[in-house]
Structure 1
Amino acid sequence: MSNIKKKLISGVIWEAFGRYSALGIQFIVTIIIARILTPTEFGIIGLLTVFIALGQIFLDSGFSQALIQKKETSEVDLSSVYFLNMIVGILLYLILFFSSPFIAEFYLLPDLTNYARVVFLIIPINSFGLIQNVIIQKELAFKKTAMANMISALFSGIVGIGMAYSGFGVWALVGQQISLHSSRTLLYIIQMRWVPKYTISTKAIKELFAFSMNLMLHSVVNTTMKNIYALVIGKFFAVSQVGYYNQADKFQEISAGTISQVVLKVSFPALAQKIDEPLYLRGAYVKIFATTIFFVAPLMVFLMCVAEPLFRFLLTEKWLPAVPYFQILCIYGMLLPTLQISYNLYKLFKKGRFLLFIDSFRHLLVIISIFFTIKFGIEYMLFGLVLCTVVMTILNLLKSGALISLSLLDQLKSVFPYYLISGLVGVLVYFLPKFDSDILTVCFSGVIFISCYLLISKFAKLQGYAELMAFTKSIKTKIKK
């Protein structure tokens, strides 16, 4: 095995370990803090998330991807971007610092100014570690990012929980975020020990910006749309509703998003290797498509069924208003992987412009749906999101399937059984008797759901079940060796 291949395999393992370990730690920390603080306090920080996310995009301006994509990066390239990031980070912070009162006025929350001016420090803090992270990725040294992510998540979790128990309220969430980004940046600096040259080359920046500009614009649009519901809810509804929505969205994203991200990362290079073999490519795509839904559909249906006892057990009674939002978002989470996997085909056949067009059209549909549903309430807005996703999924499957001569009907046939079986088992589980203990209800429902789903899948001889058994067998063989 070549050295680069060993590095790549090791990198993937460490990247997955670091990503999901940190995610798991942050999830547990969020649950603990949510049991102490109120939805309103979570909502206040939720209102600022979009500004931090957008600031981070403008801070980086796509330069990280440009540097990673560039085969030969000189010290001048790295140093130029490093100092540019620092300057931009400070300027962005100053802009946000003086804009904080206007943001607070927009949301009719005077206290938001103080929280914003502290939490926006995340942007200049991150500017000090961006280049170190680029070097780590170029060297495929993902063990370093894994350790940084895991340690910073643990450290910031201790800070956040400690402050929450000490009665700091919203400041506990601010402290958690500041300590997360500060410790991660510090760990990047310590691990890489890279020192920039005191130079800025306008020529190097211009070359990189030519590549990074489109990436930055695409990221700005996607990030804005990802946070648009929190923005709209914060403006037209009570702040506590932002807290409920954010918590519901976070639970949904951890559940469906985790599986989707793994599949997207693995499926693209797997499909790319067989682009010159149409029959194999079509079969591999259908297999990936079906296997993903085999896992995602039952998971999301099950979570919909046990949402109330699950939220009550993990977050206490005060978070129960988030349950309807979570259940609707679970439907969205069930559909999203089909949309995302079809995007891989556009990338595979270098249909980048069409991907940008169809993604923009999806965003436009979402904005229109918000406009027509906002007066009916948050639940109707989320149902509008689901409807937009259904429409875009059908359009995408129709167009992307044509690239590999795969009809819409064939694609729907490959996944429909999983949705049908999940729905039928979900109805059964939903009407099961409930116990006095919420955790007992969730566990009992889970055992029944998994048993029935796997049993029906086995007798129906579904491809997803066959893939699961093959994977389980390979794991057992490796353990025996």
Structure 2
Amino acid sequence: MSVEKGVAAGKWSAADISIRLVLNFAVSVILARILAPADFGIVAIVTFFTSLSAVFIEGGMTAAVVQRQDTSREEESAVFWWNLFASILLAAALVALGPAIAVFYGHPVIGPLMYVAGAQLVFSALGAVPSALLTRELKFDRLTKVGITSSLCGGAVGLAAAFSGAGIWALALQTAAAALVNSAMLWMMSDWRPALHVRFRHMKRLVGFGSWVGFASLLEVSYTQGYALLIGKLHGVVDLGYYNRAHGTQLVPSALVGRLINRVAFPLFAQKAEDPAAFRRGARLAIQFVMLLNVPAMTGIALLSDLVILVLFGEKWLAAAPILTILAFAGMLLPMQGVNVQMSLARGDTSSYIRNELWKKAIGIAAIVAGSFFGIIGLAWSQLVYSILALVVNARPAGRNMNYGVLHQLADIRGVAFAAIFMAIIVLGLRQLLTLSPVLLLGTCAIAGAATYVAAGFAIRSAVFLKAWELFGTRRRKTP
């Protein structure tokens, strides 16, 4: 796979992910102004069980379809039917357990919400294999159309429900509608169809890789969303709602960059896994580019968290601002971790991958338990500690196999760090000097900070900035 094709795929994927994230976040902003923090807290609890069930359903099999370049129709069909049957069984389990979960948290609405959550599981399972095949083939133009349309439809359903007085149901219906439209359109955009008569033994070749990925995904969901169970029980759904909104806001830029690189890097890395020199060059380029975008975004959010919360969500959400500041610093390294994970997966190094996941989650759980004694602020600090230690663990295979460990990776982004420091000085100075409305102050600081960041990067002649200009700036000038 050529770099040119990878860049083209990256552009389509960037359009898909960025537009979807912006649409979903815009809808969440409107819903946050209509609904109460407790509504977001309750839905966060339900979402944990939905996400956990989705991992059990998929089991890493669709990731194995992407990783394997030569899967047969029988293998792909077996994965499809497994996903579908498992989703129906787990949807029924969610419905059955709903009343007990509602009693445990003291919110009866959780029980009925599990019906919508179960339907969402089945809808998502229907589109998993077509999505994996389109991803493997880098057909992101089709995935872009699917993703944007499903986000628009889900957002429209959620907003219509909220404005009609549906309350918390607006959040549940939004995600279920998006999942249904997403899978329906994947079937329309893909030529692939499952065989009607298959045997699950056809998945045998995929089970080794897929089961490890599935287990690691189970650990990841348990850790990254397990905070909902802890906060919801120990501190209540209102605090959980504040934490959820801060976490969701921090994830917009970091998830945009992280998902983009994960979607494009995995198939590209998988095809370069047998060429160590090309593999290392691709890894360096990926890390440099994701941090070029993510570091200034996270720095800006951390420094302007109160203005971000006030402008977007309103005064009733200001308690989320200090949480957002801490989580923004934690999210600074998130895409870099993602690149290292994709390198391990693409090389098929499942033993190192799962060993690292076990280490990371042990560290993360210990950090959460310790942080929980200090409330939601303590939990936020635990995420920052985990983010730093997780990068060290994630980078170990790259250091061992390619001599590209965490110190080499950090050295490659030193220009980004210097430019971000200059940006932070300007933003902090403007906050002290200017007396403007929150909207104008936020906009002024954001524009001035971005301009300073870019100017500083080129002024110090950072290799990352120059490479980005070479790849994207010169290409744009050559386009007729």
TM above 0.5: yes
Q: Choose which of 182, 185, 192 in structure 2 pairs with 1:184.
A: 182
1:388 offset after TM fit, Å?
2.5
Change (3 A) 1:452 1:152: closer
Residues 65-86 of structure 1, C-alpha deviation per residue, up to 9 Å, x if partnerless? 3445262523x54554444433
Residues 29-55 of structure 1, C-alpha deviation per residue, up to 9 Å, x if partnerless? 111111111111111111111111122
Change (3 A) 1:277 1:101: closer
1:245 aligns with 2:247: no
How do residues 85-234 of structure 1 correspond to structure 2 at under 5 angstroms?
85-134=83-132, 136-137=134-135, 141-192=139-190, 196-206=194-204, 208-234=206-232
Change (3 A) 1:382 1:88: same
Residue 303 of structure 1 aligns to which amino acid in structure 2? Answer: I
2:72 is matched with 73
Q: Choose which of 42, 45, 65 in structure 2 pairs with 1:44.
A: 42
Secondary structure at the aligned position of 1:129 is classed as: helix
How do residues 278-297 of structure 1 correspond to structure 2 at under 5 angstroms?
285-286=283-284, 288-297=286-295
1:469 offset after TM fit, Å?
3.4
1:410 offset after TM fit, Å?
4.9
2:417 is matched with 419
1:450 aligns with 2:450: yes
Residues 266-302 of structure 1, C-alpha deviation per residue, up to 9 Å, x if partnerless? 5563797497575x87676555544443332222111
Whether the aligned pair in 2 keeps the contact of 1:345 and 1:403 (CA below 8 Å) is no
Whether the aligned pair in 1 keeps the contact of 2:17 and 2:259 (CA below 8 Å) is no
How do residues 319-330 of structure 1 correspond to structure 2 at under 5 angstroms?
319-330=317-328
In the alignment, structure 1 segments of 5+ residues that lack a partner are none
Change (3 A) 1:96 1:457: same
Taking only the aligned residue pairs, the percentage that are identical comes to 22
How do residues 333-344 of structure 1 correspond to structure 2 at under 5 angstroms?
333-344=331-342
- What TM-score, normalized to structure 2? 0.87
Residues in 1 aligned to 2:258 and 2:89: alpha-carbon distance in whole angstroms: 36
1:120 offset after TM fit, Å?
2.2
Secondary structure at the aligned position of 1:128 is classed as: helix
In the alignment, structure 2 segments of 5+ residues that lack a partner are none
Residues in 2 aligned to 1:372 and 1:40: alpha-carbon distance in whole angstroms: 25
Residues 194-231 of structure 1, C-alpha deviation per residue, up to 9 Å, x if partnerless? 66554342432555545532232222112211212222
Residues in 2 aligned to 1:328 and 1:200: alpha-carbon distance in whole angstroms: 50
Whether the aligned pair in 2 keeps the contact of 1:271 and 1:281 (CA below 8 Å) is no
Whether the aligned pair in 1 keeps the contact of 2:157 and 2:173 (CA below 8 Å) is yes
1:340 offset after TM fit, Å?
3.2
Residues in 2 aligned to 1:85 and 1:361: alpha-carbon distance in whole angstroms: 29
Change (3 A) 1:152 1:396: closer
Q: Which moved more, 1:44-53 or 1:111-120?
A: 111-120
Residues in 2 aligned to 1:193 and 1:329: alpha-carbon distance in whole angstroms: 42
Residues in 2 aligned to 1:241 and 1:160: alpha-carbon distance in whole angstroms: 23
Residue 59 of structure 1 aligns to which amino acid in structure 2? Answer: I
Secondary structure at the aligned position of 1:110 is classed as: coil
2:367 is matched with 369
Residues in 1 aligned to 2:122 and 2:194: alpha-carbon distance in whole angstroms: 17
Residues in 2 aligned to 1:472 and 1:67: alpha-carbon distance in whole angstroms: 31
Change (3 A) 1:459 1:354: same
Secondary structure at the aligned position of 2:310 is classed as: helix
Change (3 A) 1:7 1:408: closer
Residues in 1 aligned to 2:105 and 2:86: alpha-carbon distance in whole angstroms: 27
2:57 is matched with 59
Residues in 2 aligned to 1:70 and 1:275: alpha-carbon distance in whole angstroms: 13
- What TM-score, normalized to structure 1? 0.87
Residue 45 of structure 1 aligns to which amino acid in structure 2? Answer: V
Change (3 A) 1:408 1:91: closer
Q: How many residues align?
A: 476
1:98 offset after TM fit, Å?
0.8
Whether the aligned pair in 1 keeps the contact of 2:10 and 2:264 (CA below 8 Å) is no
Secondary structure at the aligned position of 1:121 is classed as: helix
1:464 aligns with 2:456: no
1:386 is matched with 384
